[in-house]
Amino acid sequence: MKRMLYFFILTVILLNCVFVLAENTDKAPDFYDIVFNGEYYVAVGEKGSVITSFDGLNWSLGSVGSDKNLYGITWGLNKFVAAGEEGVIFTSEDGKNWTKRDSDISSDIYGIEGNGDKFIAVGDMGKIFVSPDGIRWSRIRMATMEVLKKVKWVNGIFLVVGEDKIILSSDDGISWEQINIEHSDVAFNDVVWNGKEYLIVGDKMRILTSEEGVDWEYNDDYMEVLKKELTDKNINSVLWHKDKFIAAGQDGIIMFSGDGRTWTEKMEVTKKSIMSLSTDGDRLVGVGKDGIIVVSESGENWENLTKLSAGEKQYTLLENEEESLQVLAKFPFDIKMDITRYIEYEVSDENVITLEKGDLIKALNAGQSAIKVFYDGKTLEIPITVEKQENNINNDKESEKKDNDQKDIQKLRENILKKMIEVAIRLSIVLVLTFIIMHFVRKIKK
């Protein structure tokens, strides 16, 4: 009895494992960091996701082969090095084929940087790690316990920024000096050098500048001209592009400044948080939450690469008919996501149709109408035609509807058959594994 119970439990566990491995999702992943290596962009993010692009407009989706989040990526010594959740580290020469490295790091890594000679990684509890090649890593003991969020090689020094106003500097990545900042308890998220001065951005719209990287000054004058709702936004990333600072962050806020003191904000491109910016010298690319990718040539005018679509449907209904509305977000890396429940909309003529519960089109009277869809700064107009419910008109319509119904039934049958085959394969795997385990159990008992 105990043996049967043991094998039953084992079978359930194996089935769960197989089904978890077979899960699929059409949700666009979050992206946390992006880098340009001189030829192409590579961005990393949620559950080991990776996207690559030569121009910042057309992207290919891949994976490092792990379900761990990747929070940072850099290029150095002819390789990409990506790091993230629970200290995972991967390297790649092309951004597509990745190798996991045994680093003996177990804490989260949030930032990573190479300077052509070595790599530095920073993360939880003030931990700093150094590597000569991105493969072998050793820890540098630090006195701080704060979360370190970003490390940058700028003007011949490594600068690290993190929570609770922490700033660390080092010229060799081994010996570090902590720089004390007064009158602040917010997190600093990124740092950049423009050839003349350093600039740090952080939570609650905090911006600091320094000429030497030692004495830092808050630039809060611009806060007075910002709308009140903007002053609590977090700035996640900053860089220098075509003679101006470009900063981006929470809820899609984007700002630019020529001197780091007077800023202009742009917010209409997306409401998704932008986590990281990169540039090839000509084009700016920002990546962030929910698969968002935004691009700009100047830093002032931006384009959201997500497209809206009503699928392949042509909405032609008869009076008193009902039809489900489906709106898709099409990302530039071959993922389509159903966003119908997240949209806002307007109906141009409610005497012709109404839209109930956000996704059910009800045809009222013959005529033309349209549903105007709004999602994350994008708009889509979906034309709707309603025809009269008359016998002499309906024959073709009913025939077409029957054909479509038959196609739907056939598609449903194919899907059911596909699922049955998948289940059969999974059960076969479980049976084979169970047989192997039973075989070994018998051998052990003998």
Q: Label residue 244 by pLDDT band (50, 70, 90).
A: very high
Residue with tokens 């059409």: 26
Give per-residue pLDDT as tens, 347-365.
999 999 999 988 999 999 9
- Model confidence band, residue 9 (pLDDT cutoffs 50, 70, 90): very low
Q: Residue 377: how many CB atoms within 10 A of its CB?
A: 16
Percentage of the chain modeled with pLDDT above 70: 84
C-alpha 287/C-alpha 227 separation (Å) is 24
pLDDT for residue 399: 58
Task: Give 367 or 403, the one with higher predicted confidence.
Answer: 367
pLDDT surpasses 70 at 17: no
**Would strands 198-202 and 188-193 be described as parallel, antiparallel, or unpaired?**
antiparallel
Element (H, E) at 337: strand 335-338
List Cα–Cα distances, 220 to 206, 209, 261, 414, in angstroms: 7, 11, 8, 62
Residue 15 above 50 pLDDT? no
CATH assignment, 308-389: 2.60.40.1080
**pLDDT value at 10 more than 60:** no
How high is the pLDDT of residue 426? 74
**Dihedral sign (CA 253, 258, 263, 264):** negative
pLDDT confidence of residue 404: 62
pLDDT(247) > 60: yes
* Tens-digit pLDDT profile for residues 67-109: 999 999 999 999 999 999 999 999 999 999 999 999 899 999 9
Residue 294's alpha-carbon distances to 236, 392, 437, in angstroms, are 15, 51, 52
Output the pTM of the full model: 0.81
| pLDDT above 50: residue 324 | yes
| Percent of the chain's residues with pLDDT above 90 | 71
CATH number for the domain whose boundaries are 28-305: 2.130.10.10
pLDDT of 378 > 70? The answer is yes
Domain ranges of the chain: 28-305, 308-389, 392-445
- Please spell the DSSP secondary structure of 353-378, one letter per residue: EEEETTTEEEE-SSEEEEEEEEETTE
Tens digits of residue pLDDT in 267-304: 789 999 999 999 999 999 999 999 999 999 999 999 99
Q: Tell me, what's the pLDDT at 414?
A: 66
pLDDT score for 430 = 73
> Do 37 and 75 touch, CB atoms closer than 8 A?
yes
Q: How confident is the model at residue 18 (pLDDT cuts 50, 70, 90)?
A: very low
Lowest mean pLDDT among 5-14, 158-167, 338-347: 5-14
The answer to whether 34 touches 295, Cβ cutoff 8 Å, is: no
**168: Cα within 13 Å, side-chain hemisphere:** 30
Average pLDDT score over the chain: 87
At 14, the pLDDT band (50, 70, 90 cuts) reads: very low
| Type and span of the H or E element at 400 | helix 391-445
What is the pLDDT, as a whole number, of residue 78? 98
